Amino acid sequence: MEIRIAHLFPELLNLYGDGGNIICIQKRCDWRGIFVKVDQIHAGDSVDFGNTDIIFVGGGTDREQKIVCSELLAVKQQLHDYVEAGGVLLAVCGGYQLLGHNYLLGDELVEGVGVIDLKTERGEGRLIGNVMIESDICKMPIVGYENHGGRTYLGDCEPLGKVTSAGGYGNNGTDGYEGVHYKNVIGTYLHGPLLPKNPQVCDYLLKTALARRYGSEFDFPDLDDTIENNANLVMQERLKANVVN
């Protein structure tokens, strides 16, 4: 059994260790005897997502996003076809913003790939800190760290979850929603990296991707997540106690 990951523009979109999400997917597959192949997609590469199970796009600064925007636009149709065909995609922060129609930076408009009906605009100040959300995709609260100037507004699509009273800003700091869940795409502002402290999110993505390749009956054994779940709980406690960092 194998799984193929396409990591888009790792040298440009990799804030706060977002690449750690790939390591997490690899480890959780290794422990289950699933072979993982990671294809790094660099600027100018031609792409074919026909054999891809998971696409990952990390976060980036505004400057990096401007650079990467034209690269993403070059693969817009492939991304659109992949997403509409139920391909699994995880995008964090800057990568999440670029899945939408555009990112308005003052007078400047950074065009997104528009595979999801959402848009982002730069607000006053940055939304920074630890965050905890509740989502339908897993039982445990999802914890992470956010740092973004952009405010994202969803159109005809569902959020990934709701920001809990423990803290955090989410998409825009006003409507209480965090991220997006559209078909098999998850976009989120949660760095962390996201997956190591939220193993249930990792397994949700993996199960979805493997079921797509090997059939809906597909399942795999749970792992002993004592350490990962403890890390999640520690962060929950710190958020509830209002501890910064």
The residues that touch ligand GLN, with contacts defined as CB under 6 A, are 15, 59-62, 65, 93-94, 147-150
**Closest separation between CB of residue 107 and ligand GLN, Å?**
16
Q: How far apart are the first and last CA of the chain?
A: 39
**Closest separation between CB of residue 32 and ligand GLN, Å?**
30
**Closest separation between CB of residue 109 and ligand GLN, Å?**
14
Q: Is 126 annotated as a binding residue?
A: yes
Query: Which CB, 26 or 147, lies closer to ligand GLN?
Result: 147
Q: Count CA within 13 A, CB hemisphere, residue 195.
A: 24
Catalytic residues: 93, 191
Contact yes or no for 175/219 (Cβ under 8 A): no
Which residues lie closer than 8 Å to 130 by C-beta, 6 or more apart? Answer: 143, 144, 145, 146, 167, 168, 235, 238, 239, 244, 245
Query: Which CB, 82 or 145, lies closer to ligand GLN?
Result: 145
Query: Which CB, 59 or 179, lies closer to ligand GLN?
Result: 59
Contact yes or no for 24/30 (Cβ under 8 A): no
With CB atoms as reference, the residue minimizing the distance to ligand GLN is 59
- Annotated binding residues: 126
